Structure 1
Amino acid sequence: MKLERNSKAVLLRIYIGESDRYKGKPLYRYLVELFKKEGFYGATVLRGITGFGQTSNVHTTSILRLSTDLPIVIEVVDSREKIDEIKPVLDEIIKGGLIIEQEVEVWAYRGKEDESD
Protein backbone atom coordinates (compact mmCIF):
# COMPACT_ATOMS: atom_id res chain seq x y z
CA MET A 1 0.00 0.00 0.00
CA LYS A 2 1.24 3.45 -0.85
CA LEU A 3 0.33 6.30 1.48
CA GLU A 4 -1.35 8.99 -0.54
CA ARG A 5 -4.07 11.53 0.05
CA ASN A 6 -7.37 9.95 1.14
CA SER A 7 -5.86 6.50 1.69
CA LYS A 8 -6.91 4.61 4.82
CA ALA A 9 -4.28 3.72 7.40
CA VAL A 10 -3.95 2.79 11.08
CA LEU A 11 -2.28 4.90 13.76
CA LEU A 12 -0.74 2.80 16.50
CA ARG A 13 0.05 4.80 19.65
CA ILE A 14 2.24 3.20 22.32
CA TYR A 15 2.50 4.70 25.83
CA ILE A 16 5.52 3.60 27.87
CA GLY A 17 7.99 5.04 30.39
CA GLU A 18 11.30 6.62 29.51
CA SER A 19 13.17 4.15 31.73
CA ASP A 20 11.65 1.06 30.02
CA ARG A 21 14.31 -1.06 28.35
CA TYR A 22 14.50 -4.06 26.03
CA LYS A 23 17.67 -6.01 25.19
CA GLY A 24 19.83 -3.38 26.86
CA LYS A 25 18.37 -0.42 24.91
CA PRO A 26 15.75 2.15 25.74
CA LEU A 27 12.48 0.54 24.66
CA TYR A 28 11.43 3.53 22.54
CA ARG A 29 14.70 3.34 20.57
CA TYR A 30 14.37 -0.43 20.10
CA LEU A 31 10.81 0.03 18.78
CA VAL A 32 11.78 2.75 16.31
CA GLU A 33 14.60 0.57 14.98
CA LEU A 34 12.17 -2.37 14.72
CA PHE A 35 9.61 -0.32 12.78
CA LYS A 36 12.33 0.90 10.42
CA LYS A 37 13.70 -2.62 9.90
CA GLU A 38 10.19 -3.92 9.19
CA GLY A 39 9.63 -1.26 6.53
CA PHE A 40 7.01 0.89 8.24
CA TYR A 41 6.32 4.30 6.75
CA GLY A 42 7.67 6.08 9.80
CA ALA A 43 7.58 6.41 13.57
CA THR A 44 7.72 9.34 15.96
CA VAL A 45 8.71 9.39 19.63
CA LEU A 46 7.18 12.06 21.85
CA ARG A 47 8.47 12.79 25.34
CA GLY A 48 5.83 13.95 27.81
CA ILE A 49 6.36 16.61 30.43
CA THR A 50 3.98 15.00 32.91
CA GLY A 51 1.61 12.06 33.12
CA PHE A 52 0.45 9.03 35.02
CA GLY A 53 -0.61 5.52 34.16
CA GLN A 54 -2.20 2.49 35.76
CA THR A 55 -0.24 2.86 39.02
CA SER A 56 -1.35 6.53 39.35
CA ASN A 57 2.25 7.62 40.05
CA VAL A 58 2.70 11.08 38.55
CA HIS A 59 5.88 11.45 36.47
CA THR A 60 6.86 15.05 35.83
CA THR A 61 9.64 17.39 34.75
CA SER A 62 8.89 19.66 37.72
CA ILE A 63 12.13 20.92 39.26
CA LEU A 64 10.83 19.93 42.71
CA ARG A 65 10.10 16.37 41.59
CA LEU A 66 12.35 15.61 38.67
CA SER A 67 11.35 12.22 37.27
CA THR A 68 13.72 9.81 35.59
CA ASP A 69 10.77 7.98 34.05
CA LEU A 70 8.90 10.54 31.96
CA PRO A 71 6.03 9.44 29.72
CA ILE A 72 7.00 8.40 26.19
CA VAL A 73 4.56 8.03 23.29
CA ILE A 74 5.58 6.25 20.09
CA GLU A 75 3.32 6.79 17.09
CA VAL A 76 3.50 4.70 13.95
CA VAL A 77 1.20 4.79 10.92
CA ASP A 78 0.87 2.11 8.28
CA SER A 79 -1.61 -0.21 6.61
CA ARG A 80 -3.96 -2.40 8.62
CA GLU A 81 -1.99 -5.45 7.42
CA LYS A 82 1.39 -4.12 8.63
CA ILE A 83 -0.04 -3.06 11.99
CA ASP A 84 -1.71 -6.45 12.50
CA GLU A 85 1.54 -8.26 11.61
CA ILE A 86 3.56 -6.38 14.24
CA LYS A 87 1.08 -6.72 17.13
CA PRO A 88 2.24 -10.20 18.28
CA VAL A 89 5.85 -8.95 18.29
CA LEU A 90 4.88 -5.89 20.34
CA ASP A 91 2.98 -8.14 22.75
CA GLU A 92 6.23 -10.01 23.46
CA ILE A 93 8.38 -6.87 23.78
CA ILE A 94 6.19 -4.42 25.71
CA LYS A 95 5.61 -5.62 29.27
CA GLY A 96 3.98 -2.47 30.67
CA GLY A 97 2.16 0.46 29.15
CA LEU A 98 -0.80 1.12 26.91
CA ILE A 99 -1.22 0.50 23.19
CA ILE A 100 -4.12 1.94 21.23
CA GLU A 101 -4.97 2.03 17.56
CA GLN A 102 -7.12 4.28 15.48
CA GLU A 103 -8.20 4.21 11.87
CA VAL A 104 -7.04 7.37 10.12
CA GLU A 105 -7.22 8.93 6.70
CA VAL A 106 -3.97 10.21 5.23
CA TRP A 107 -4.13 13.84 4.23
CA ALA A 108 -0.51 14.25 3.10
CA TYR A 109 2.69 12.18 3.21
CA ARG A 110 5.76 13.90 1.77
CA GLY A 111 9.47 13.81 2.39
CA LYS A 112 11.86 16.67 1.84
CA GLU A 113 13.75 16.24 -1.42
CA ASP A 114 17.11 16.81 0.27
CA GLU A 115 16.32 14.62 3.31
CA SER A 116 18.72 11.77 3.98
CA ASP A 117 18.71 9.06 6.66
Structure 2
Amino acid sequence: MTTPDTERGLRLTVLVGESDGWHHRPVFTEIVHRAHLAGLSGASVFRGIEGFGTSSMIHTQRLLSLSEDLPVAVVIVDTEERIRAFLPLIGELVADGGVAFLDECEIVRFGDERERGR
Protein backbone atom coordinates (compact mmCIF):
# COMPACT_ATOMS: atom_id res chain seq x y z
CA MET A 1 0.00 0.00 0.00
CA THR A 2 1.39 3.39 -0.98
CA THR A 3 1.23 6.51 1.12
CA PRO A 4 -0.93 9.19 -0.51
CA ASP A 5 0.65 12.49 -1.56
CA THR A 6 -0.18 15.45 0.67
CA GLU A 7 0.35 19.18 0.35
CA ARG A 8 -0.75 22.35 2.11
CA GLY A 9 -3.77 24.00 0.61
CA LEU A 10 -6.56 26.48 1.09
CA ARG A 11 -10.29 25.73 1.15
CA LEU A 12 -12.52 28.47 -0.22
CA THR A 13 -16.16 28.25 0.82
CA VAL A 14 -18.56 30.71 -0.80
CA LEU A 15 -22.03 31.05 0.75
CA VAL A 16 -24.82 32.36 -1.47
CA GLY A 17 -28.55 32.00 -1.77
CA GLU A 18 -29.99 29.38 -4.07
CA SER A 19 -31.95 32.02 -5.99
CA ASP A 20 -29.00 34.45 -6.38
CA GLY A 21 -28.41 35.00 -10.07
CA TRP A 22 -25.80 36.33 -12.45
CA HIS A 23 -26.87 37.05 -16.04
CA HIS A 24 -29.77 34.54 -16.00
CA ARG A 25 -27.67 31.81 -14.37
CA PRO A 26 -27.38 30.79 -10.70
CA VAL A 27 -24.41 32.41 -8.94
CA PHE A 28 -23.21 29.02 -7.68
CA THR A 29 -23.11 27.72 -11.26
CA GLU A 30 -21.14 30.76 -12.40
CA ILE A 31 -18.60 30.24 -9.58
CA VAL A 32 -18.11 26.58 -10.59
CA HIS A 33 -17.66 27.51 -14.25
CA ARG A 34 -15.16 30.25 -13.39
CA ALA A 35 -13.23 27.82 -11.17
CA HIS A 36 -13.12 25.33 -14.03
CA LEU A 37 -11.91 27.97 -16.49
CA ALA A 38 -9.28 29.08 -13.97
CA GLY A 39 -7.92 25.52 -13.90
CA LEU A 40 -8.62 24.92 -10.22
CA SER A 41 -8.52 21.32 -9.05
CA GLY A 42 -12.26 21.03 -8.41
CA ALA A 43 -15.41 22.59 -7.01
CA SER A 44 -18.49 21.18 -5.30
CA VAL A 45 -21.86 22.76 -4.54
CA PHE A 46 -23.79 21.83 -1.41
CA ARG A 47 -27.41 22.83 -0.83
CA GLY A 48 -28.29 23.70 2.74
CA ILE A 49 -31.50 22.69 4.44
CA GLU A 50 -31.80 25.77 6.63
CA GLY A 51 -30.03 29.05 7.22
CA PHE A 52 -30.13 32.83 7.25
CA GLY A 53 -27.92 35.56 5.90
CA THR A 54 -27.73 39.32 5.81
CA SER A 55 -31.52 39.66 5.52
CA SER A 56 -31.92 37.81 8.87
CA MET A 57 -34.78 35.88 7.28
CA ILE A 58 -34.61 32.15 8.03
CA HIS A 59 -34.86 29.95 4.94
CA THR A 60 -35.76 26.33 5.53
CA GLN A 61 -36.56 23.15 3.66
CA ARG A 62 -39.19 22.05 6.19
CA LEU A 63 -42.45 21.11 4.53
CA LEU A 64 -44.69 23.71 6.17
CA SER A 65 -42.44 26.60 5.21
CA LEU A 66 -40.75 25.59 1.97
CA SER A 67 -38.22 28.15 0.82
CA GLU A 68 -37.10 28.88 -2.69
CA ASP A 69 -33.89 30.53 -1.50
CA LEU A 70 -32.05 27.93 0.54
CA PRO A 71 -28.39 28.48 1.43
CA VAL A 72 -25.82 27.09 -0.99
CA ALA A 73 -22.13 26.51 -0.29
CA VAL A 74 -19.57 26.29 -3.09
CA VAL A 75 -16.39 24.59 -1.85
CA ILE A 76 -13.12 24.77 -3.75
CA VAL A 77 -9.77 23.37 -2.56
CA ASP A 78 -6.44 24.09 -4.19
CA THR A 79 -3.08 25.61 -3.34
CA GLU A 80 -3.11 28.91 -1.45
CA GLU A 81 -1.60 30.75 -4.42
CA ARG A 82 -4.25 29.51 -6.85
CA ILE A 83 -7.19 30.15 -4.49
CA ARG A 84 -6.03 33.70 -3.68
CA ALA A 85 -5.59 34.41 -7.40
CA PHE A 86 -9.16 33.19 -7.98
CA LEU A 87 -10.81 35.46 -5.37
CA PRO A 88 -10.93 38.59 -7.60
CA LEU A 89 -12.73 36.53 -10.26
CA ILE A 90 -15.75 35.99 -7.99
CA GLY A 91 -15.92 39.32 -6.14
CA GLU A 92 -18.58 40.73 -8.45
CA LEU A 93 -20.69 37.58 -7.99
CA VAL A 94 -20.98 37.82 -4.21
CA ALA A 95 -21.00 41.61 -3.85
CA ASP A 96 -24.70 41.68 -2.95
CA GLY A 97 -24.74 39.73 0.30
CA GLY A 98 -22.70 36.62 -0.36
CA VAL A 99 -19.79 35.79 1.87
CA ALA A 100 -16.65 33.71 1.44
CA PHE A 101 -14.21 32.29 3.93
CA LEU A 102 -10.83 30.60 3.72
CA ASP A 103 -9.48 27.70 5.76
CA GLU A 104 -6.00 26.26 5.70
CA CYS A 105 -6.12 22.56 4.94
CA GLU A 106 -4.03 19.59 3.97
CA ILE A 107 -4.78 18.16 0.54
CA VAL A 108 -4.50 14.38 0.35
CA ARG A 109 -4.26 12.95 -3.16
CA PHE A 110 -4.94 9.26 -3.71
CA GLY A 111 -4.01 7.13 -6.71
CA ASP A 112 -1.26 7.74 -9.22
CA GLU A 113 -0.85 10.92 -11.28
CA ARG A 114 -2.81 9.56 -14.25
CA GLU A 115 -5.82 8.75 -12.04
CA ARG A 116 -5.70 12.26 -10.59
CA GLY A 117 -5.75 13.88 -14.03
CA ARG A 118 -2.27 15.37 -13.88
Q: TM-score, normalised by structure 2?
A: 0.85
Cα distance in structure 2, aligned partners of 1:79 and 1:9: 4
Runs of 4+ in 1 over 6 A off after TM superposition: none
Q: How does 1:18-37 map to 2 (within 5 A)?
A: 18-37=18-37
**CA 1:109–1:18: 2 relative to 1, 3 Å:** farther
In the alignment, the residues of structure 1 paired with residue 71 and residue 92 of structure 2 have an alpha-carbon distance, to the nearest angstrom, of 20
Residue in 2 aligned with 1:91?
91
Question: Structure 1 stretches of 5 or more lacking a match?
Answer: none
Q: Identity percentage over the alignment?
A: 33
Residue identity in the other structure for 1:60:
T
**What residue number does 1:103 align with?**
104
Can you give the 5+ residue segments of structure 2 that lack an aligned partner in the other structure? none
Match in the other structure for 1:50: 50
Q: What is the deviation of 1:109?
A: 4.6
Asked whether 1:75 is paired with 2:72, we answer: no
